[in-house]
């Protein structure tokens, strides 16, 4: 495949759609896999050879032979978490020094950023965001506030002084909270991890990526989180601190909009969310509990139980529109195997008013308007050809396609790399 465009994989819901699996499955078609935003708040699960693996900062192409994996400028990096992850990968896959490239412009998450995240959340009480507490918000705040430290700064003789100055500033901020903390141990690990990272190539990733594009090398951009967690268009303030949508590929990797090729949008056949904030189709009953148990809906990064509910087509259409999705992938269809009835929200009612679009007022009392489908009530885990799917599932997919105007090209029927149906 020769192309001068960068393809994109991203989540269309509230994260955890299965981006890790999809990127791992698609990597053989690409040479370069690049993360463009987010950081260790992400947890991307891969399952192959009877083994599972969760990636946080490293792109999900890392286990594929000959892949080049780039951590782009839009990503925020905690050296401790990244080095732990690298060591775990290397135990399984051998030395990855040559196949992991890190942007000099990617910002560093300091130990005090994590403390600021925790202090801010604690001070919010009931209105807390439900952050993963990895320091994501405070690090992006320092980036836009023009105070941040970047990967490239590690090599500067001034690095320690600049670190100390930023730490002092953070201590000042932390003193305004009623919050006890001690970073001594983590700071030691952090400094060691910074040293350990020096064996990797720190690059001008925007130049490297554009060179690959000019040469016609296939590149896949891997999103983290999901569209409904986007800082601008998600359910603010219950969002993450980066642009999780296609637009983020341009700023997070340094590629022009006209270089974006296919936009592959991923969604679960139902819906989940972890952390606080609006979730119109959330189920608080046994059905929700069944989705959680059957789908093993517990956070890959924090282990927290995920909130579960029916597929929300209002939110999905909103995400398809703003991402310019060209094709869809439906994940976890197998989780619905035993359900007698499956519901899909096609509109909302807010204050007695019906709307078929995702409104600013999504935090208010929202009553979803549902369309019901008969379930297939059979096991699809071993199906590998679309023709062999039960008619009820085909009807469900056809409805989603007609509502979103996008083809569903792949259906995932289990966590494993192999559990996939390509049309």
Binding site for ligand IMO (CB under 6 A): 11, 14-16, 38, 41-44, 129-132, 134, 136-137, 224-226, 229, 240, 274-275, 300
Would you call 152 helix, strand, or coil by DSSP?
helix
Looking at 7, 24, 44, 334, which residue is catalytic?
A: 44
Strand pairing category for 68-71 and 100-103: parallel
Size of the site for Mg ion (CB under 5 A): 3
**Least separation, in Å, of the C-beta of 42 and Mg ion?**
6
By CB under 6 A, is residue 291 in contact with ligand GDP? no
Residues 41, 75: contact at Cβ < 8 Å?
A: no
Please provide residue 402's backbone torsions phi and psi, each rounded to the nearest 5 degrees.
-70, -35
Strand pairing category for 408-412 and 327-331: parallel
Residues 96, 83: contact at Cβ < 8 Å?
A: no
| Residue 44 designated active-site | yes
- Position with the least CB separation from ligand IMO: 275
Please provide residue 399's backbone torsions phi and psi, each rounded to the nearest 5 degrees.
-65, -45
Which residue bears the tokens 């951009």? 221
38 vs 74, beta carbon nearer ligand IMO: 38
254 binds, among Mg ion, ligand GDP, ligand IMO, none (CB under 5 to 8 A by kind): none
278 binds, among ligand IMO, Mg ion, ligand GDP, none (CB under 5 to 8 A by kind): none
By CB under 5 A, is residue 309 in contact with Mg ion? no
Sign, CA dihedral 221-55-134-325, equals positive
Query: H-type helices in 198-245, by residue range?
Result: 205-214
Stretch of residues binding ligand GDP (CB under 6 A), selected from 31-39, 40-48, 164-172, 344-352: 40-48
**Least separation, in Å, of the C-beta of 196 and Mg ion?**
25
CA 135 vs. chain centroid, Å, equals 16
* Residue from 86, 106, 209, 300 binding Mg ion (CB under 5 A): 300
**Least separation, in Å, of the C-beta of 54 and ligand GDP?**
7
By CB under 5 A, is residue 43 in contact with Mg ion? yes
Please provide residue 66's backbone torsions phi and psi, each rounded to the nearest 5 degrees.
65, 10
By CB under 6 A, is residue 415 in contact with ligand GDP? yes
**Least separation, in Å, of the C-beta of 133 and ligand GDP?**
17
Interhelix angle for 111-124 vs 184-197, to 10°?
A: 130
130 vs 375, beta carbon nearer Mg ion: 130
- Residues in contact with 302: Cβ distance below 8 Å, sequence separation at least 6, in sequence order: 43, 132, 133, 274
Please provide residue 124's backbone torsions phi and psi, each rounded to the nearest 5 degrees.
-85, -15
Query: H-type helices in 75-231, by residue range?
Result: 79-93, 111-124, 136-144, 159-174, 184-197, 205-214
Q: Binding pattern to ligand GDP, positions 299-318, x when CB under 6 A? A: -x------------------
267 vs 339, beta carbon nearer ligand IMO: 267
73 vs 217, beta carbon nearer ligand IMO: 73
* Residue from 3, 31, 47, 153 binding ligand GDP (CB under 6 A): 47
| Residue 142 designated active-site | no
Contacts of 392-395 with C-beta under 8 Å, sequence gap 24+, read 393/333
**Least separation, in Å, of the C-beta of 402 and ligand IMO?**
27
47 binds, among ligand GDP, ligand IMO, Mg ion, none (CB under 5 to 8 A by kind): ligand GDP
Q: d(Cα 158, Cα 176) in Å, to the nearest integer?
A: 28
Strand pairing category for 68-71 and 76-77: unpaired
**Least separation, in Å, of the C-beta of 135 and ligand IMO?**
8
7 vs 16, beta carbon nearer Mg ion: 16
Sign, CA dihedral 197-203-209-214, equals negative
Residues that bind Mg ion in the complex, under the rule CB under 5 A: 16, 43, 300
Hey, which residues are catalytic here?
A: 16, 44
Contacts to ligand GDP by CB under 6 A: 11, 15-21, 42-45, 47, 296, 300, 331-332, 334-335, 412-415, 419
């Amino acid at each position: 495949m020769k192309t001068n465009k960068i393809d994109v994989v991203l989540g269309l819901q509230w994260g955890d759609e299965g981006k890790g699996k999809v990127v791992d499955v698609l990597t053989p078609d690409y040479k370069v896999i690049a993360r463009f935003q987010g950081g260790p708040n992400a947890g991307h699960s891969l399952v192959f050879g009877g083994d599972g693996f969760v990636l946080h900062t490293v792109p999900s192409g890392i286990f594929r032979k000959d892949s080049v994996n780039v951590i782009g400028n839009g990503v925020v990096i905690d050296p401790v978490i990244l080095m732990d992850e690298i060591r775990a990968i290397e135990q399984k896959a051998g030395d990855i020094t040559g196949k992991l490239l890190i942007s000099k412009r990617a910002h560093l998450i300091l130990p005090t950023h994590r403390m600021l995240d925790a202090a801010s959340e604690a001070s919010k009480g009931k209105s807390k965001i439900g952050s993963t507490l990895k320091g994501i918000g405070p690090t992006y705040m320092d980036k836009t506030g023009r105070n941040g430290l970047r990967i490239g700064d590690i090599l500067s003789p001034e690095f320690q002084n600049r670190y100390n100055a930023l730490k002092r500033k953070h201590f000042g901020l932390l003193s305004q909270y009623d919050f006890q903390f001690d970073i001594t141990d983590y700071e030691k690990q952090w400094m060691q991890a910074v040293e350990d990272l020096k064996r990797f190539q720190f690059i001008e990733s925007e130049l490297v990526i554009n060179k690959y594009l000019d040469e016609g090398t296939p590149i896949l951009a891997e999103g983290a989180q999901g569209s409904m967690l986007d800082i601008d268009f998600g359910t603010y303030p219950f969002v993450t601190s980066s642009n999780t949508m296609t637009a983020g590929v341009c700023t997070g990797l340094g590629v022009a909009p006209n270089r974006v090729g296919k936009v592959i949008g991923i969604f679960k056949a139902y819906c989940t969310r972890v952390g606080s904030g609006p979730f119109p189709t959330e189920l608080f009953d046994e059905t929700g509990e069944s989705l959680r148990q059957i789908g093993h809906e517990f956070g890959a990064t924090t282990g927290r139980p995920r909130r579960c509910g029916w597929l929300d087509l209002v939110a999905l259409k909103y995400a398809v529109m703003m991402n310019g999705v060209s094709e869809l992938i439906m994940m976890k269809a197998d989780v619905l195997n035993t359900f007698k009835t499956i519901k899909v929200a096609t509109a909302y009612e807010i204050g007695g008013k019906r709307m078929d679009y995702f409104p600013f007022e999504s935090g208010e009392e929202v009553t979803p308007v549902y369309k019901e489908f008969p379930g297939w009530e059979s096991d699809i885990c071993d199906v590998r050809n679309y023709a062999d799917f039960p008619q009820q599932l085909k009807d469900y997919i056809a409805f989603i396609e007609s509502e979103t105007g996008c083809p569903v090209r792949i259906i995932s029927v289990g966590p494993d790399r192999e559990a996939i149906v390509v049309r």
